[in-house]
Amino acid sequence: MKIDGNAIRPGMVIEHQNRLWRAVKIAHTQPGKGGAYLQVELKDIRDGTKLNERFRSSEKVERVRLEQTEYQYLFSDGDMHTFMNAENYEQIALSSEAVGEYAVPYLKDGMNVMIESFEGEPLGVELPQHVTLEVVEADAVVKGQTASSSYKPAVMENGVKVLVPPHIEAGTRIVVDTREGTYVERAKD
């Protein structure tokens, strides 16, 4: 589907220079001389290379729609992670690079994820936005540090460090945003 060059948004996948790119950052620029353009930081879906490109509103860009299929995470074996399609029980294995290095620690047994593919080739994994994890280690609160909203470092069961409010202690279950790797709230379970 063709779209105008100034209609590109972060997260969108486009075909440019015969490759698939995901828009990471965009910035509208209006120089004093000449027409306005959109400065876009693109990341190649397959190999991760980055490219900064300018698109004018008069240019047409091919927007690519990725097929999204729900899979269930089963297990990891070294650098490979196995997922199962819930409808037909077909299993696929993806490398840590395809899953995304930031996403690997958040994978939990039985977790439902969306696998994005293009023309039958799996390209990436989209995790649920929030996951619930247990805090295994949290620093003690420093007395007198309550004047401002202060956060302290904590280590979760998956080994990832997150800044949490002072009232969170080891053994507490918290909700974490998988995209930002940040504390959201105390788990309600």
Give residue-wise pLDDT tens across range 12-32.
Answer: 889 999 888 888 888 988 888
Q: Which residue intervals of the chain bear CATH 2.40.50.140?
A: 67-126, 130-186
Report the C-alpha gap between 187 and 189 in whole angstroms: 6
0.75 surpassed by pTM: no
Token pair in block for residue 86: 């819930």
On the 0-12 / 13-18 / 19+ scale of CB atoms within 10 A, 126 is middle
Closest CA to 41 of 59, 21, 23: 23
Give residue-wise pLDDT tens across range 70-113.
Answer: 999 999 998 899 999 988 999 999 888 778 777 888 998 899 99
Q: Which residue intervals of the chain bear CATH 2.30.30.30?
A: 2-63
Give residue-wise pLDDT tens across range 57-68.
Answer: 888 999 888 888
CATH annotation of 130-186: 2.40.50.140
Token pair in block for residue 30: 């209006």
Q: CA 69: distance to chain centroid?
A: 16
Closest CA to 150 of 163, 162, 161: 163
Token pair in block for residue 61: 């860009």
- The yes/no answer on whether domain 67-126 falls in CATH 3.40.50.300 is no
